[in-house]
Chain A
Amino acid sequence: MKKKLGFLFVFFSVLLILTACGGKEKNSTDATAKKADANGRVTLDFWSFWGSGARKDVIEAIIADFNQSQDKITVKYTYQPWGDIWTKSLSAITAGNPPDVIVQDINSVAQRAQAKQATALDKYIDKDTSKQFYPQLWETTLYEDKSYALPFNTDTQVIFYNKKLLKEVGVTEDNLPQTWEELEKVAHKLDQKKGNDYSRIGFYPLWNIGADVWALNADNGVSWFDRDGQVKIDTPNKVTALEWIEKWQKFYGRDTINRLEAEFGSGVSDPFISGTVAMRAQNINYYSSLMENAPDDFDFGVMQLPEKTKGSGHWSWGGGFVLEIPYGAKHAKESYEFMKYLTSEKVQEKFGEKSFDIMANKTANENLVKNKNLSEKGQMVYKMADDNFPNTVITPVPLTAPDYNSLVNEQLDQALMGSKSPEAALQAAQKAVTDLVKQNKTK
């Protein structure tokens, strides 16, 4: 009896384990079957976070085109939500069963390359590939002289202005403000008060770009780290930038700013469209929101961020996304083939035309400036993007301190809330980040 029971126990446990493992085995055979079907076509799993709207439609159309254009590769599109996609792919890489191509953040390519999360592309890339992209985008893909990704799309920060309102104060396309000082003058001409409250704000620098962009704009395009990875937080120019923002804050008063921010934040109406704000610094992608929400007769223009002083440069900041082959993906050659297709001129132009994204392929953007399917405004936006790009800095995370952001932001918050002077805040941030770099180096 005892024996019988013992046997039963073992039998059931084994059964349990077997069914658990069996499931896994079945999955993995499924996966290989999926990747090369009967006609010898390789199936690629492509992950992105474009799950709705114009981007989803156009990427699906592009994939369908690609699948029809040749008979070796079939691309299967998988949508992964924005909040999950990269952690999911990280677990998939760790488990050895990653997607074949994935849309990744442009700022951390080298970090992933270093941690062996991405496949080096040097075997597949030909010499001319790099030339089709804006140079600063291409640079982000390099780690130890090898490229690990192809840039896909990007953006840049510009100022949108209300043409009608600016015209009323005598500013037209020919005499747009070029420096911080000129911007202040124009802005304050545009201010309007009703009683004691502002009913219109000419310009406020933190609507809607961060203090970090102004710091970089002031400091000759040098972000928190310079090109050699040195910490450049506490610099005279960056202190000036924060002081300049503080000056705007004092001018309009923190109460006014908080009140309006809360109003904007509720999302009921866009302050720029309603005319409450005459000039708004923003990611150039804001254009697509204007297209959707602004009335047809709303007339706006775009201009570069002003220079701190004449000649200091209209420095701006951008980000973007790249295409990557996760480490351990089985069909790197075919994956690269698909990536090459996605970054080719025609495909990039098509994606830009539908999504209004600034594309990584330079020629595609130049073509978009003349693209007949775009409105006059759309062409203007692409022209601005192309003009602004030589001044646009991309800020990849430094390998020595990939998570430095929370340290800097803590100090920036304190400076902007007035609990610390800009100088003291940047000093503290400089020290904290230098510390973090040291921790990571001795590790």
Chain B
Amino acid sequence: MKASKLTMRKKKEMLWGYFFIAPFLLGFIVFMLGPMLFSLIGSFTDYNLTSKMNFVGLANFKRMFFQDQLFWKSLYNTAYFVLFNVPLTTAFSIFLAVILNQKLRGISFFRTIFFLPAVLSGVAVYILWMQLLSPSAGLINTVLSWFQIKGPAWLFDPAWTKPALILMKIWGSGGAMLLYLATLQNISPALYESAEIDGAGTWQRFKNITLPLITPIIFYDVITSTIGSFQIFQEAYVMTKNGTGGPSNSLLFYNLHMWNKAFVAFDMGYAMAMSMILFFIVMILTFINLKLAPRWVYYAGGEQK
């Protein structure tokens, strides 16, 4: 008697639960899952949006791996970007957060300054950076020239276009900085005090207290920024003339190539196949990340394991 009542209550709760997440579920199914499934189906066809959608088997994938040289180029460019962008922006935002975690007068002013880039949006920032990066008149090369360094041509030199973009991304890492900062402020000062009494230096305190306690956020940041970096598109689209890929295609990122295939060549089936491959790459990387996490991510509560 009692048991059945409980299950009924449980069922009731479950129902309410579903009811409350219904808006998300509906949105997810209609706007995410639906299009994703459609992409999956489309990737085996020659779909061109308007006039045809014939099944072509694995032709799109074959073409991608064995014929389309720009596919490999764009994948290389993207991988290069991810490989440098993710660790550098993560390290920089931790660095910033630690510095800005000091109790100084006017620290909130500096916090605002470093957070600002994360608030400023898209295109205006890119245009600003294009001016900063201008080879002879730009601020960056002007500053370098004070130290007798001849700055590179940045966005005009294929070897420097990607570093230029990464530099810009590092400047904009204020968003993640805020997350780290919030976590840092939750760390109990008692830990530092006792470490100090035990004679630990600044570096040791950072290494043995701060770092382990923010690993969950690092983990989160690495995963989201890896996914985000793989999706880089806007920057390259704006900073090269309407998606032309920059000097000698050095800024032709994966999504840019995909966009060109979809909306310049109307080869939507092929673009969908490309998006599937990207989906798998990102999924595998995230899976590896999740598997590796227990080795280095420290959850203070201890129960998540």
Contact = CB atoms under 8 A, between A and B. Distances in A.
B80 interface: no
A407 interface: yes
Given A115-B266, A402-B264, 12 more contacts: A2-B11, A5-B12, A9-B15, A87-B263, A93-B50, A111-B266, A262-B137, A403-B260, A406-B249, A406-B252, A413-B247, A443-B63
A409 B134 contact: no
Contacts of B23: 16
Interface string A69-97: 00000000000000100110010011000
7 contacts: A2-B11, A6-B15, A13-B22, A111-B266, A116-B51, A259-B136, A443-B63
B46 A9 contact: no
Given A2-B12, A16-B22, A406-B70, A258 B51 contact: no
Contact of A262 (B18, B135, B261): B135
A5 B20 CA distance: 13
A409 B245 contact: yes
B12 A1 contact: yes
Contacts of B156: 258
A116 B252 contact: no
A8 B20 CA distance: 12
Interface of B: 8, 11-12, 15-16, 18-19, 22-23, 26, 46, 48-51, 56, 59, 63, 67-70, 131, 134-137, 153, 156-158, 242, 244-245, 247-249, 252, 260-261, 263-267
A65 interface: no
Interface string A403-424: 1011101110110010000000
Interface of A: 1-2, 5-6, 8-9, 12-13, 16-17, 83, 86-87, 90, 93-94, 111, 114-117, 258-259, 262-263, 265-266, 327, 402-403, 405-407, 409-411, 413-414, 417, 432, 435, 438-439, 443
A410 B137 contact: no
The secondary-structure label for the interface of chain A is helix
Contacts of A402: 264-266
Contact of A406 (B18, B26, B134, B245): B245
A120 to B, nearest CB: 13
A9 B137 contact: no
Contacts of A443: 46, 56, 59, 63
Given A115-B51, A266-B134, A5 B15 contact: yes
Contacts of B16: 5
A27 B134 CA distance: 48
A126 B267 CA distance: 34
Contacts of B15: 2, 5-6, 9
A87, A114, A262, A435 — which one has the most chain B CB atoms within 10 A of its CB?
A262
Would you list the 7 A-B pairs with minimal beta carbon distance, nearest first? A116-B51, A413-B248, A403-B265, A262-B136, A410-B249, A402-B265, A403-B264
B51 A9 contact: no
B247 A115 contact: no
